């Protein structure tokens, strides 16, 4: 069960969910229950409700009755930072969206037919309200971050209910255990498996931007929610302090950017161009404070590119530390960290590549995934 699903869906947890479904379908009968939404912010219906197929996977899409409330930001501010009632917290799930009652009815009616049901992403109503219906055969892949909503009452019971957890990183596991004292529930740290990069050509990007100095790449949603505003401010301060180079931003733009020659937005890019940009870059930067798994770090290491991550993010800092594939920086330390990464780029990139080759093979991932299913199966 995941709130959005399909090849058109670009998102960390949803992409991970689709990979899991595809891997499990190699040796299991797999169905996906989801909504008919594509956009994670509005939850506007996009796909046709009903049944379809994603290769061998049967996909059941249930209609979104209401998406994100126009007043959601006010609801969120009240809930997270002001005195409020328990009813306010319960109303949060509907206000946030997606609200899909038929999906919950399906779990009530047919949930007992399944040996194991994996729920993705704790924060949305399909998981928060759906998992308790089938808790005796449920696994939770929570993709939890150290964020304010994790403290809300609707989630306190949720994290005590599943038969097993699937964690994306050791840091996520440690956060969940510390917050909910639920170490007695078994779990598996899944990580991810990766295919080899597609054919790609970094030369055109290098030829265009390398003469200006280091190429620094950000890959992902260009939004304040991913701390890209902080990255841009750090970059401007670095350049104003005499630094050289170009900041390239690849991904859907959801915030304004300054009109500068040294900041280049690409918008959404193909898989081939994504890897070409990653290999052309002297460093990938991931400023986000809230990630449950930095998949883009692993992709950068596949092509030997070192990474810069926010020191405030325990998950990505942990990934960089385990791989010895980059540097974590704090606000005010961006310029020094970038200089360090560029100076040691070849060594850090090679170390990251070795880490991915050891940890992100499909046989290793499949074994961890089957262990999780065995723990969950009723």
Pair 130, 220 in one domain: no
The residue written with tokens 């070409």 in the block is 276
Sign of CA dihedral 278, 282, 288, 293: positive
Pair 186, 248 in one domain: no
Pair 218, 166 in one domain: no
| 210 occurs within a structural domain | yes
Pair 181, 212 in one domain: no
Pair 22, 160 in one domain: yes
Pair 349, 366 in one domain: no
* CATH for 366: 3.40.50.2000
* pLDDT for residue 299: 96
Task: Give pLDDT tens digits for 188-204.
Answer: 999 999 999 999 999 99
| 7 occurs within a structural domain | no
Burial letters for 227-240: b for 16+ Cβ neighbours within 10 Å, e otherwise?
A: bbbbbbebbbebbe
Structure tokens belonging to residue 112: 């007992």
Q: How many separate domains does the chain show?
A: 2
106: nearest Cα among 95, 96, 117: 117
Pair 53, 113 in one domain: yes
| 218 occurs within a structural domain | yes
Q: Are 16 and 168 in contact (CB under 8 A)?
A: yes
Pair 175, 220 in one domain: no
| 265 occurs within a structural domain | yes
35: nearest Cα among 65, 76, 72, 71: 65
Give the 3-state secondary structure of residue 200: coil
pTM: 0.83
* pLDDT for residue 11: 66
* Beta-sheet strand order (sheet of 246-250): 263-267, 246-250, 215-219, 283-286, 307-310, 326-329
| 72 occurs within a structural domain | yes
Rg from Cα positions in the chain: 21
**Cis before 292 (ω within 30):** no
* pLDDT for residue 378: 62
| 3 occurs within a structural domain | no
As a whole number of angstroms, the distance between CA 324 and CA 187 comes to 26
Pair 38, 181 in one domain: yes
| 236 occurs within a structural domain | yes
CA geometry: angle 359, 360, 365, nearest 5 deg: 100
Q: Which domain holds residue 127?
A: 12-193+362-376
| 351 occurs within a structural domain | yes
Q: Are 376 and 163 in contact (CB under 8 A)?
A: yes
Pair 311, 371 in one domain: no
Pair 225, 290 in one domain: yes
Give the residue ranges of the chain where pLDDT is below 50. none
User: Could you give the residue ranges of the DSSP H alpha helices within the chain?
Assistant: 12-24, 72-81, 86-96, 101-110, 125-128, 153-158, 170-180, 203-209, 228-240, 271-280, 295-302, 314-323, 334-343, 345-359, 362-376
Pair 82, 225 in one domain: no
């Amino acid at each position: 069960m995941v709130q959005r699903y399909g090849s058109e869906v670009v998102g960390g947890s949803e992409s991970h969910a689709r990979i899991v479904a595809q891997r499990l379908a190699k040796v299991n009968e797999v169905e996906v229950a989801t909504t008919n939404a594509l956009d994670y912010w509005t939850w506007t219906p996009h796909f046709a409700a009903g049944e379809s197929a994603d290769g061998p996977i049967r996909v059941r899409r249930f209609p979104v009755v209401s998406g994100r409330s126009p007043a959601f930001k006010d609801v969120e501010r009240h809930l997270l930072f002001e005195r409020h009632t328990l009813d306010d917290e319960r109303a949060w799930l509907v206000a946030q969206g997606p609200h899909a009652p038929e999906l919950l009815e399906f779990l009530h009616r047919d949930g007992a037919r399944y040996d194991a049901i994996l729920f993705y992403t704790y924060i949305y109503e399909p998981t928060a309200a759906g998992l308790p219906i089938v808790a005796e055969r449920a696994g939770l892949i929570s993709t939890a971050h150290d964020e304010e909503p994790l403290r809300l009452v609707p989630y306190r019971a949720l994290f005590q209910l599943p038969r097993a957890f699937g964690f994306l990183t050791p840091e996520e596991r440690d956060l969940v255990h510390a917050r909910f004292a639920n170490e007695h529930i078994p779990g598996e740290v899944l990580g991810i498996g990766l295919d080899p990069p597609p054919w790609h050509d970094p030369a055109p990007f290098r030829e265009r931007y390398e003469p200006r100095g280091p190429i620094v790449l950000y890959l992902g949603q260009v939004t304040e929610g991913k701390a890209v505003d902080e990255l841009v401010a750090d970059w401007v301060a670095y350049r104003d302090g005499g630094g050289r180079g170009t900041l390239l931003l690849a991904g859907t733009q959801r915030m304004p950017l300054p009109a500068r020659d040294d900041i280049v937005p690409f918008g959404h890019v193909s898989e081939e161009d994504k890897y070409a940009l990653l290999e052309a870059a002297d460093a990938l930067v991931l400023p986000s404070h809230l990630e449950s798994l930095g998949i883009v770090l692993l992709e950068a290491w596949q092509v030997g590119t070192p990474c810069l991550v926010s020191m405030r993010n325990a998950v990505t800092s942990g990934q960089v530390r385990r791989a010895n594939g980059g540097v974590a920086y704090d606000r005010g330390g961006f310029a020094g960290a970038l200089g360090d990464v560029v100076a040691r780029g070849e060594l850090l990139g090679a170390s990251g590549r070795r880490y991915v080759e050891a940890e992100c093979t499909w046989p290793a991932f499949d074994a961890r995934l089957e262990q999780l299913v065995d723990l969950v199966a009723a």
